[in-house]
Amino acid sequence: MKTRNLYLTALAFYVCACDRHPAPHLAKKEPNYKKAESLFYYGNKDSAFYYFNDVAGNSKDSSQVAVSYSYMASIQSDAGDYFGSQENLLLSLKHLDEKKAGDHYCLSANYNELGLTSSRLGNYETAIRYYDLALRFSPEAKFKWRILNNKAVAFQNLQQYTQALSLYDSLLNVATPDTKEYARILSNLAKTKWLKDSSYNAVPPFSSALQIEKRVKDEWGQNASYAHLADYHFLPHPDSALFYSKMMYAIAQKLESPDDQLEALQKLIKLSPVQATQAYFERYLQLNDSLQQKRNAAKNQFALIRYEAEKHKAENLQLQKENAEKQSEMIRQRLIFIFAGLLLSLTIVFLIVWFRKRKQQVLLKAENTVRESRLKTSQKVHDIVANGLYRIMTEIEHQDHVEKNLLLDKIEDMYERSRDISYEKQDSAHAIFHDELNKLLESFANGSRRVLVVGSREELWERVSLNVRQEVKCILQELMVNMKKHSSAGNVVIKFGQQENQVQIQYTDDGIGLPAEFRYGNGLNNTVSRITTIRGKISFDNKTTTGLKILISFPIG
């Protein structure tokens, strides 16, 4: 996510910029201001927002009002309410005087935060203008470095790499080596060079920055470096990219940063093996829904606090003019309004969450449909074209004289079937299935290989549906093709039988068996998929010194 690259100024530093050298009249802080400040630093930011809002609306001290709005903006920004944050930052600026040196700290911090929120919203050119204003009022070199770094990132996002590199070079020249600031600038500089020139080798500076961040225990910096390394290795070295994505996800979880977790999960979904992708995808959806719900609730809560504060102020003025008999009625109406507002907010949140989940379900269903269609077409291509050709080749290979017309008939049949490969076209139900199946299996016999078929009788297949018969035919054809290609077997026995409501097929050969590190290829993957489709099971017995035994079973009907 682009906002990660900003190396955002920590909230404590941001607020400290307003309050590090306060104006003399801030020495006497109002009680609600003290309470709000205490709640903020102890992490109770919802309550802190309420009291800062009270100070901003009622205090006569302009500096105290400005700082309160700045605190409120930082709380909203942290909760993802960027528009609300910008509104309060602009209100803070209205209570500051550019001519007063004591206000310059807060002016600089406010403009920097406006630049950050603009960048989060994708308004990079606006962000650069705010960073220039922040630099104009910044009294400290260290804070200027942070602002210049943020400005460089905005140039990077605008693909104005020359301007970004110029800023990073100037920052790197004055930064103290082996510090987290130096590491962050080095990492950002390397990323910008790589974005400008894809042939640039960014690994050495990325690695150097990461080592510094580990030494100084800068976990946020490590998070960014892992993200940079994952992006850099994404195409040329996906295994390395997967490793760094996992490292990023682990440290993002440690930092409890949902945005960075989501970014890491996006990388893991793209890079991981198929069997791991589903778990990452489900975690991504869960985390994204939770984050959006939390941010929407926070936005509603901040707006409700502001609204209630204004309403409370107006009501107090009204209550002063009314007699005692109307006070109870006004309080009752206010409580009803609050309840209605909360109920409406909860209803809106519920509808938003429901709509998004419904949309995701529809998209997932559509994706699954497309995936199943592609798999089915792939299986048909494999069975009709690949195995069909292989079977004809086998017959030609072991016949001294080939009847031209018979060969042309077989090729024409395979041609016609391949033309209809995208249609759900079943083979004729009038053919005698067990004879057809037996001929298929025995066609793999030759002068050096015997194929014996036992138990495949008409009675066995009477209750088996046409669709299941065709799947069994494709499954056995695939096993025989694999036997022909790989087993070097001299004797093959396929035994059919029935036990209770199950058809059982036992394949045995005296070939070389399966290798120790056996993995399914495309053909066997299709075979397993077909067996699953007919609710069947398959097992491989490779414990004997020679040969292979395969057991297949599936229900009748």
Q: What's phi and psi for 545, nearest 5 deg?
A: -70, -35
What's the confidence (pLDDT) of residue 361? 79
User: pLDDT grade, residue 190 (50/70/90)?
Assistant: very high
What's the confidence (pLDDT) of residue 315? 62
Distance separating alpha carbons of residues 472 and 536, to the nearest angstrom: 10
> The tokens 């500051």 sit on which residue?
96
What's the confidence (pLDDT) of residue 249? 95
Judge whether 477 and 383 are in contact, CB under 8 Å: yes
Per-residue H/E/C for 224-251? HHHHHHHHHHCCCCHHHHHHHHHHHHHH
- Is the confidence at residue 399, as pLDDT, over 50? yes
- What is the reported pTM? 0.52
> What is residue 10's DSSP assignment?
P
Distance separating alpha carbons of residues 270 and 283, to the nearest angstrom: 14
Per-residue H/E/C for 120-153? HCCCHHHHHHHHHHHHHHCCCHHHHHHHHHHHHH
Across residues 115-135, what is the average pLDDT?
Answer: 93
| Angle between helix 238-255 and 219-233 (nearest 10) | 160
- Is the confidence at residue 188, as pLDDT, over 90? yes
Distance separating alpha carbons of residues 243 and 227, to the nearest angstrom: 11
What rounded mean pLDDT belongs to the chain? 82
Instruction: Give the 3-state secondary structure of residue 548.
Output: strand
Judge whether 478 and 523 are in contact, CB under 8 Å: yes
Residue type at 262 in one-letter notation: L
C-alpha distance from residue 514 to each of 254, 415, 493, 510, 542 (Å): 44, 34, 17, 11, 6
* Tens digit of each residue's pLDDT (9 = 90 or more) over 70-95: 898 888 888 888 888 889 899 999 98
What's the confidence (pLDDT) of residue 518? 67
Higher-pLDDT residue of 204, 359? 204
Q: How many CA atoms lie within 13 A of 266 on its CB side?
A: 11
Q: What's phi and psi for 449, nearest 5 deg?
A: -140, 130
Judge whether 131 and 115 are in contact, CB under 8 Å: yes
Higher-pLDDT residue of 108, 4? 108
Q: What's phi and psi for 89, nearest 5 deg?
A: -65, -40
What's the confidence (pLDDT) of residue 139? 78
Q: Are strands 450-454 and 491-499 parallel, antiparallel or unpaired?
A: parallel
Range picked from 29-43, 205-219, 429-443, 517-531 for highest mean pLDDT: 205-219
Residue type at 166 in one-letter notation: S
- Is the confidence at residue 22, as pLDDT, over 50? no
> What is residue 521's DSSP assignment?
-
> The tokens 């909360």 sit on which residue?
342
User: pLDDT grade, residue 376 (50/70/90)?
Assistant: low
Higher-pLDDT residue of 128, 342? 128
Across residues 195-199, what is the average pLDDT?
Answer: 94
Domains of the chain, start order: 1-158 (1.25.40.10), 218-309 (1.25.40.10), 432-555 (3.30.565.10)
- Is the confidence at residue 472, as pLDDT, over 70? yes
User: pLDDT grade, residue 242 (50/70/90)?
Assistant: very high
- Is the confidence at residue 426, as pLDDT, over 80? no
What's the confidence (pLDDT) of residue 112? 94
21-30, 96-105, 284-293: which has the minimum mean pLDDT?
21-30
User: pLDDT grade, residue 383 (50/70/90)?
Assistant: low
User: pLDDT grade, residue 1 (50/70/90)?
Assistant: very low
What's the confidence (pLDDT) of residue 21? 33
DSSP H/E element including 454: strand 450-454
What's the confidence (pLDDT) of residue 451? 94
> What is residue 536's DSSP assignment?
-
What's the confidence (pLDDT) of residue 369? 57
- Is the confidence at residue 55, as pLDDT, over 50? yes
Q: Concatenated DSSP letters for 367-432?
A: HHHHHHHHHHHHHHIIIIIIHHHHHHHHHHHT-SS--HHHHHHHHHHHHHHHHTTTS--PPPTTS-
- Is the confidence at residue 3, as pLDDT, over 50? no
